[in-house]
Amino acid sequence: MAKGGHSRPGALVALLEQRLCEYHHSKYCVAFATGFWSLVACLRLKALNAPEVIIPSFTYRRLADVVFWAGKTPRFVDVDPGTLAISPKAVERAISSKTGAILAVHPIVNCCDVGALQGIAHDHRVPIVFDAVESVHETCEGRRVGSFEGAEVFSLHASKLINGLEGGYVCSDDREFVARLRRFKTHDATSASLQEPGSWIPSEMPDLHAAFALAGLDEIDLNVSHNQRIYRAYQARLKTVPGIRLRAFDEAEQTSFKNIVAELTDRSSCSRDSLVQQLNHNGMLARAHYSPPLHTRSYEFPVSCPDALPVTESVAARFINLPCGFRMKEGDVSSVVDVIEKSLSMDSGG
């Protein structure tokens, strides 16, 4: 404690890091101001002296920006048609002398193939960083995300399962890497090496955000229970609606049931974008899922996509993120599905 009975600056951040280590079964945890800068820091410190970082195209809209801020060129690859996560086969095909790192992203429903991707990274001696910002509560092959080797990055943004208003953190089992992360986020004016551009990023988490995150950590079970009820309500209603299919959580693993994703099937004559428009028109917050794919966008920095991405282009216009979250009630799900059913019926001429 500091003088006057007040906690010293950073005390709540240190407590949060300790609690998150326990929660993820991780050796170390380093908190950052944002999840974005957590990813940038990991890539800057992990990537080899090579120009490219392999990332999926069907993913978070700013992931290419993360790679740019890490001083690398994003190299887009395809996703697996079953998981919608980065494809291990596509990653292996893309690895070359230009590859500085692999940035593997867990999709917002279920996880990527951690074992296969780690195997590829080891075989080719290429570092791998996992973007786990939507996978804080998930397990993969019975093991908690955050407990794997290397670097796993999480977010404490207000939209995430643990709400810290803003923030992010890195879980790792590598003591030396963690020490470098701590130096990287703190400007030490006595160190000449840290004066070089890009050698550090001031990204300390404020104690205020840590306080909110600690409260959110205490409420995880409550939030997961609520999410599961919303998911079950969608599951019950959508199974009788032709033309749309709920993306199922893998209940053999631990999951948060946080995000509700559905796919318009071949039986649907309604476009995904039309359905989003109808839901939004009725005051229901829905959006296109990972749209547009990153390789189809324009950039003010170099990107690389030498291969065709057939799976990404096939699924890009089929998936929708449906309304969910703590403000949703089970009765609200019926209202959402009523609009979906009416929209699909109208477009099919019913």
Q: Specify whether the CB–CB gap between 86 and 105 falls below 8 A.
A: yes
Token output for 65: 């920006």
- Report the mean per-residue pLDDT for the chain: 93
Q: Provide mean pLDDT across the span 21-29.
A: 98
Among 3-7, 47-51, 138-142, 332-336, the minimum mean pLDDT is found in: 3-7
The string of pLDDT tens digits covering residues 220-236 is 999 999 999 999 999 99
Predicted pLDDT at 346: 75
% of the chain surpassing 90 pLDDT: 89
pLDDT at 5 over 60: no
Q: Provide mean pLDDT across the span 206-216.
A: 97
Q: Provide mean pLDDT across the span 315-337.
A: 96
Predicted pLDDT at 50: 98
Residues of the chain with CATH 3.40.640.10: 3-218
Predicted confidence band at 339 (pLDDT cuts at 50, 70, 90)?
Answer: very high
**Superfamily classification of domain 220-286+322-347:** Aspartate Aminotransferase, domain 1 (3.90.1150.10)
Predicted confidence band at 345 (pLDDT cuts at 50, 70, 90)?
Answer: confident
The Cβ of residue 51 has, within 10 Å, a number of other Cβ atoms equal to 16
Predicted pLDDT at 197: 55
Helix, strand, or coil (residue 63): helix
Fold of 3-218: Aspartate Aminotransferase; domain 2 (3.40.640)
Predicted pLDDT at 29: 98
Residue 284 one-letter amino acid: M
Phi, psi at 140, each rounded to 5°: -130, 120
Predicted pLDDT at 200: 77
pTM of the model: 0.93
Predicted pLDDT at 7: 54
Predicted pLDDT at 269: 82
> Can you name the residues that pair with 288 across neighbouring β-strands?
320
pLDDT at 25 over 70: yes
Q: Provide mean pLDDT across the span 65-87.
A: 97
Predicted pLDDT at 99: 98
Residues of the chain with CATH 3.90.1150.10: 220-286+322-347
Predicted confidence band at 88 (pLDDT cuts at 50, 70, 90)?
Answer: very high
Predicted pLDDT at 265: 93
The string of pLDDT tens digits covering residues 247-267 is 999 999 999 999 999 999 988
| CA-based torsion, 190, 191, 197, 199: positive or negative | negative
The string of pLDDT tens digits covering residues 196-206 is 656 677 899 99
Token output for 314: 């096939």
Q: Specify whether the CB–CB gap between 228 and 221 falls below 8 A.
A: no
Distance of CA 202 to the CA centre of its chain: 23
Predicted pLDDT at 201: 79
- Please name the residue ranges forming H helices in the chain: 11-24, 35-46, 63-69, 88-94, 114-124, 175-184, 207-218, 220-238, 272-281, 310-315, 330-347
Residue (of 230, 258, 235) closest to 246 by Cα position:
235
